Chain A
Amino acid sequence: MRRIQSLLLVVALLVPLSAQAVRIEISAPGEQTIPLALTRFLPMDDASKSVATEIDQVLNADLDLSGLFELADRAAFLSDAEKLGLHSTQVDFAQWRLLGVDAVVKGGYRLEGDQLVVEARLYDVITQRLLTGRRYVGSPGDERRIAHSFADQIMLALTGKKGPFNSRLAYISTRSGHKELYLMEVDGHNPIRLTDHRSIVLDPDFSPVRKEITFTSYKHANPDLYRKEIYTGREARLSQRPGLNTGGRYSPDGSEVVVTLSKGNNSDIYLLGTDGTIHKRLTKHWGIDVAPSWSPDGDRVAFVSDRRGNPHLFIVDIASLKVVRLTFEGKYNATPDWSPTGDWIVFTRRTEGQFDIFMIRPDGSGEHRLTFGPGTKEHPRFSPDGRFLVYSLDLNGEKSIHVIRTDGTGDRRLSAPGGNDTHPAWSGHWQ
């Protein structure tokens, strides 16, 4: 019996040995981009061609900014690019496979009465499936919004996380001669002036739940904190205490605002209700505490303080009011912003006479520098999906808004030349 057992054991050991398959390890993809074919949207009736151009431009810019794709050369497109394929059976996937693309974007549009209808599809070329499809109905002139929205959908389909393209950026510009608050699309188009304070407006922040912005303005000589409903234009002073009322940031649930108040003497971080009452004092120190930023879970606030001599980043726990020092390097660290995913805090640090953007984990590890070019970079803020950063670049005396991926690549300028554009803030997803 035992002999048979041992024999079986030997056989059991030998069998897998003899039939062992060859193991291959592949430790990185051949390319870190997804080859995507972006076809021109086709008119389904005699609607004007400019719609297609506009959609095309926006999609191109957004997909390029995402860094996710390698857009296939249009010149290589075959006959299928000229066909409207709104169903996966109508698409000749063999053609696209020939081009080596993994995914293809197709679409069409028509005018129904005075409504613009845009149909957009994203197909997987390999599995010949529809990845995402949308029908957008809007008024003529909404092409850009529709395209941004579909770019977000493409990101959702391919990464599981919506893109930030159909959101807005608030920023401060001097185009009107004063520092006023402006709003634009994430690719820099359609800038709109929101305030007319003819004074100095600073440091905007979007409410995560309402179409509302908070900012600081010197309209009444003192830096007061304001809130403004974007579409109605209604405006109210949230805090008008003597001294600084700056750096207002909405909490992640939108119910509170963290702010720097000096109340005539030393500045500290306070928690305000949306009605302007003080809920809690977060710091109480003789050092200057400014520039608060919420953690995405709403439990902690990062801020800048010179309590250890030079300005450094600290984190205060709202419940226990315990303060932890975050940065130890550098002589001047400023303007922290906590990523929506919670795993990074971006801030600026003065190096070699100019400010550059750095990232650090909330536990103080993984500190690294993102920007290396000339010019001072200030006010970095995360996009709502945490994939991008927007910041203002001061180069040769001209200030402009730039966007960059969080790995430091894909830097591009957003704001048009001619205005000193600073203090960008990224809205949440904009419906």
Chain B
Amino acid sequence: MSEYYRHRLRQLQSLLEPGLRRMLFISFLLHLIVPVILSGVLIATHRTPKVPVYRVNLVNKPVKNPRAGRPDAAPTKKKKKKVVKKKVAAKTIPLKKKKTAKKSVAKKTTPVVKKKKPPVKKVKLDKTAETDLQKRIAEMQARAERQKKLDRIKAALAAQRAELGKPDVQAPVGEPDGKGDEIGISSITKIKGIITENWRLSQYQLPSLELQAEVKVIYSKEGKMRSWEFIDKSGNSFFDESLRKAIVKSKDIGETLPVAGTFEIVFNLKDLQNR
């Protein structure tokens, strides 16, 4: 039995032969690469469009904040504004500060300080008073200037903000001015949900289910009903009375509407007929 043979035997008995370890490592790397390649290929080939999140209103109750809990939800608007503000502020304000500071320093300190330092303390009170006055005037001037500039910045900011604020970012896509990336609860759905919920009518009250009436309702942006009127009555007093109650109960939506305005609501009993 040669030395080499023993060596081979030892290798044979060992769990991992020396070469195998390297191969296992290569295999491991390959396995790491596979999902990366797969997912990369998948993403590259069909980049799936962002699926809009539909919130289904199960209880006829509009969801108060349909995008609550989503990281990209409400704060988008605020963030944008903040960023703009900071940028503007960062650019403009310090510049002015520096300028004013320099000016004032130049005006007051260079001449004043020299005079001030040695004698002022005890002897020349009037001079200190004078310098004080000068200093104060300079300060006031500087402040006024700063204030002016601040005002200008504020105006610019306000203008910017107004421009930004125009598209209602929170309004969902279904709205005319909606820029959100989801389909949320529109005013129509909200109003429909609330009035439907408040409409209580039993078919036992009616001689027939083929009734229809139309009501015009005007809501303010705060969700308050401004006015309402019947456009078309059904002719059945109980049906009409139930509508009157439903409308009266829905006088306050309780939250602001993305879009205010006039709504023509048609009431009928088609869903009951089909049963």
Contact with A along B204-247 (1 / 0, CB 8 A): 11100000000010000000000000000000011000101110
* A26→B199 contact, CB < 8 A: yes
Of the candidates B191, B249, B266, the one whose C-beta lies within 8 Å of that of A25 is B266
User: Is A387 among interface residues, defined by CB-CB distance under 8 A?
Assistant: yes
B: contact size bracket: 35 or more
User: Is A221 among interface residues, defined by CB-CB distance under 8 A?
Assistant: no
User: Is A159 among interface residues, defined by CB-CB distance under 8 A?
Assistant: yes
* A29→B200 contact, CB < 8 A: yes
User: Is B141 among interface residues, defined by CB-CB distance under 8 A?
Assistant: no
Q: A22-B263, A22-B264, A28-B271 are in contact. Are A67 and B204 (CB under 8 A)?
A: yes
* B237→A68 contact, CB < 8 A: no
Interface pick from A31-39, A75-83, A169-177, A251-259: A31-39
Complex contacts, A26 vs chain B, CB 8 Å:
192, 195-196, 199, 265-268
* B192→A30 contact, CB < 8 A: no
Q: A24-B191, A26-B195, A158-B238 are in contact. Are A34 and B202 (CB under 8 A)?
A: yes
User: Is B11 among interface residues, defined by CB-CB distance under 8 A?
Assistant: no
Of the candidates A21, A25, A127, the one whose C-beta lies within 8 Å of that of B244 is A127
With both chains docked as a complex, state the minimum distance between the C-beta of A67 and any C-beta of chain B, in angstroms. Answer: 6
User: Is A308 among interface residues, defined by CB-CB distance under 8 A?
Assistant: no
User: Is A126 among interface residues, defined by CB-CB distance under 8 A?
Assistant: yes
User: Is B256 among interface residues, defined by CB-CB distance under 8 A?
Assistant: no
A-B interface contact total, Cβ < 8 Å: 97
Residue of A nearest to B218 (CB): A21
* B205→A68 contact, CB < 8 A: yes
| Cα-based distance from A160 to B240 in the complex (angstroms) | 13
User: Is A95 among interface residues, defined by CB-CB distance under 8 A?
Assistant: no
- Chain A 343-367 interface residues, beta-carbon cutoff 8 Å to B: none
User: Is A212 among interface residues, defined by CB-CB distance under 8 A?
Assistant: no
Interface centre among A24, A67, A102 (most CB of B within 10 A): A24
User: Is B154 among interface residues, defined by CB-CB distance under 8 A?
Assistant: no
Complex contacts, A68 vs chain B, CB 8 Å:
202, 204-205
Residue of A nearest to B214 (CB): A23
Of the candidates A21, A25, A34, A127, the one whose C-beta lies within 8 Å of that of B200 is A34
Q: A26-B196, A126-B245 are in contact. Are A32 and B261 (CB under 8 A)?
A: no
Complex contacts, A124 vs chain B, CB 8 Å:
245
User: Is A66 among interface residues, defined by CB-CB distance under 8 A?
Assistant: yes
User: Is A6 among interface residues, defined by CB-CB distance under 8 A?
Assistant: no
Contact with B along A133-175 (1 / 0, CB 8 A): 0000000000000000000000000111000000000000000
Interface centre among A23, A26, A30, A32 (most CB of B within 10 A): A26
With both chains docked as a complex, state the minimum distance between the C-beta of A380 and any C-beta of chain B, in angstroms. Answer: 19
Complex contacts, A158 vs chain B, CB 8 Å:
205, 238
User: Is B198 among interface residues, defined by CB-CB distance under 8 A?
Assistant: yes
User: Is B104 among interface residues, defined by CB-CB distance under 8 A?
Assistant: no
* B261→A33 contact, CB < 8 A: no
Complex contacts, A33 vs chain B, CB 8 Å:
200, 202
With both chains docked as a complex, state the minimum distance between the C-beta of A95 and any C-beta of chain B, in angstroms. Answer: 15
Q: A28-B270, A33-B202, A67-B202 are in contact. Are A21 and B264 (CB under 8 A)?
A: yes
Residue of A nearest to B267 (CB): A26
Q: A30-B60, A30-B196, A387-B204 are in contact. Are A160 and B266 (CB under 8 A)?
A: no
Interface centre among B245, B261, B262 (most CB of A within 10 A): B245
Residue of B nearest to A158 (CB): B205
* B60→A159 contact, CB < 8 A: no
User: Is B41 among interface residues, defined by CB-CB distance under 8 A?
Assistant: no
Q: A30-B199, A35-B200, A159-B204 are in contact. Are A102 and B272 (CB under 8 A)?
A: no
- Chain A 92-136 interface residues, beta-carbon cutoff 8 Å to B: 102, 124, 126-127
With both chains docked as a complex, state the minimum distance between the C-beta of A64 and any C-beta of chain B, in angstroms. Answer: 13
- Chain A 391-407 interface residues, beta-carbon cutoff 8 Å to B: 405
* B267→A32 contact, CB < 8 A: no
Complex contacts, A127 vs chain B, CB 8 Å:
244-245, 248
Residue of A nearest to B191 (CB): A24
Contact with B along A1-45 (1 / 0, CB 8 A): 000000000000000000001111111111111110000000000
User: Is B27 among interface residues, defined by CB-CB distance under 8 A?
Assistant: no
With both chains docked as a complex, state the minimum distance between the C-beta of B262 and any C-beta of chain A, in angstroms. Answer: 4
User: Is B203 among interface residues, defined by CB-CB distance under 8 A?
Assistant: yes
* A23→B261 contact, CB < 8 A: no
* A24→B205 contact, CB < 8 A: no
* B204→A29 contact, CB < 8 A: no
| Cα-based distance from A24 to B216 in the complex (angstroms) | 10
* A24→B264 contact, CB < 8 A: yes
| Cα-based distance from A30 to B245 in the complex (angstroms) | 13
Interface centre among A22, A67, A160 (most CB of B within 10 A): A22
Residue of A nearest to B248 (CB): A126
Residue of A nearest to B216 (CB): A21
Residue of B nearest to A69 (CB): B202
With both chains docked as a complex, state the minimum distance between the C-beta of B190 and any C-beta of chain A, in angstroms. Answer: 10
Q: A21-B216, A21-B261 are in contact. Are A102 and B266 (CB under 8 A)?
A: no
* A30→B197 contact, CB < 8 A: yes
With both chains docked as a complex, state the minimum distance between the C-beta of B273 and any C-beta of chain A, in angstroms. Answer: 9
With both chains docked as a complex, state the minimum distance between the C-beta of B18 and any C-beta of chain A, in angstroms. Answer: 78
Complex contacts, B199 vs chain A, CB 8 Å:
26, 29-30
Complex contacts, A29 vs chain B, CB 8 Å:
196, 199-201, 242, 246, 269
Q: A21-B262, A22-B188 are in contact. Are A31 and B200 (CB under 8 A)?
A: yes
A-to-B contact residues, CB < 8 Å? 21-35, 66-69, 102, 124, 126-127, 158-160, 387, 405
6 CB < 8 A contacts A-B: A24-B265, A30-B60, A32-B202, A66-B204, A102-B200, A159-B206
Closest CB pairs A-B (n = 10): A28-B271, A21-B262, A27-B270, A29-B199, A29-B201, A126-B245, A30-B197, A159-B205, A25-B266, A30-B196
Known contacts A27-B270, A32-B202; 19 additional CB pairs below 8 A are A21-B263, A24-B188, A24-B191, A24-B195, A24-B264, A24-B266, A26-B199, A26-B267, A28-B269, A28-B270, A31-B200, A124-B245, A126-B245, A126-B249, A158-B205, A158-B238, A159-B205, A159-B206, A387-B204
